[in-house]
Structure 1
Amino acid sequence: MKLRIRNQKDVAAGAIYVAFGAAFSLGALNYKMGDAARMGPAWFPFWIGVLLVAVGAATAAAGLNPGAAPEALKKPELRTLAWIIGSVALFGVLLQPLGLVLALAALVIVSSLASHEFGWKGTLANAVVLILFSAGAFVRGISLQIPLWPHFLAG
């Protein structure tokens, strides 16, 4: 029986998940693993990588299923990729001098330019939710040493 790719998008997405999951898991093996009771630095990335491989294999298998809806890969939109990658790079550059709040606002606003579906109201709502969640989870919750505001505003 010959396998045919019915859904190219699912197979490609599955392959990407498998590749990234395998890379994370293999990269984690360079650190101490530990166990569930005493997790080492490798424990979390290793198991997340294993989960990604499993999800990727299931996604790719769904694309090979004879009953899958046929869907071809489209040509990548380089402009969209540039906006998204650029927004992440901008976040990295702005985080220390401007703080988490303004860097995240810039990330969301710039990355929203990649989509034709988001208007300003949705973009601002996404920014507010992401800022509140990130400040609560990372700065307040696990006490990461990330400035919330620029030094000249923080006093």
Structure 2
Amino acid sequence: MTIRNQKDFAAGLIYLLAGAGFSIGALNYHIGDAARMGPGWFPFWIGILLAAVGLLVAGASVRAGAASEQLQRPKLGAMAWILGAVVLFGLLLQPLGLVLALVALVLVSSRGSHEFAWRGALLNTVVLVVFSIGAFIWGISLQIPLWPSFLMN
């Protein structure tokens, strides 16, 4: 067995491991059955589905007709920008509110792309802010401040 597409094989292994981890973790909860689902039902079956997708993707990477692709070195700078943006969002959400935290998230994480452009990042920011306010504030009524508390007094 020769791995022809290393990218797909690695992705399949990641899916398989994540799915197995979720399914095994869900066994700590009552699973139940289809008629009476317990708290472990959803994560167990989603984990099984994710593991199955992982097997399919990894299996397709060793087919004779699979496109030959090699793994590349991870771009640590891009990963640092994106991880830093997520951490920054978590730190800024309560003191600055959803709108400004999302602005920081999108603008900082956009710097991780080699195709960064201010125009695209700002447009993406507006779309994400509008969607998030609609879905999380109006849609499911999350109690997240929209703006900093010093602006609301």
State the TM-score, normalized to the length of structure 2: 0.88
By how many angstroms is 1:18 displaced?
1.3
1:63–1:128 CA distance, 2 compared to 1 (3 A): same
User: Which residue of 1 is the match for residue 150 of structure 2?
Assistant: 152
CA offset digits 1:41-75 (Å, max 9, x no partner) = 43333333222212222211121111011000001
- Kindly provide the amino acid, as one letter, of the partner of residue 60 in structure 1: A
In the aligned structure 1, how far is the partner of 2:42 from the partner of 2:129? 24
Runs of 4+ in 1 over 6 A off after TM superposition: none
Q: Which runs of 5+ in 2 are unaligned?
A: none
User: Which residue of 2 is the match for residue 93 of structure 1?
Assistant: 91
User: Which residue of 1 is the match for residue 11 of structure 2?
Assistant: 13
1:38–1:131 CA distance, 2 compared to 1 (3 A): farther
1:42–1:137 CA distance, 2 compared to 1 (3 A): farther
In the aligned structure 1, how far is the partner of 2:100 from the partner of 2:56? 39
* 1:49 alignment partner, one of 41, 47, 50: 47
User: Which residue of 1 is the match for residue 60 of structure 2?
Assistant: 62
CA RMSD between the two structures: 1.9
CA offset digits 1:85-136 (Å, max 9, x no partner) = 1111111111111111111111111111110113111111111222222222
Which range is displaced more, 48-57 or 70-79?
48-57
Q: Map 1:71-82 to 2 at 5 A.
A: 71-82=69-80
User: Which residue of 2 is the match for residue 130 of structure 1?
Assistant: 128
By how many angstroms is 1:39 displaced?
5.0
In the aligned structure 2, how far is the partner of 1:36 from the partner of 1:99? 40
SS in 2 for 1:111: helix
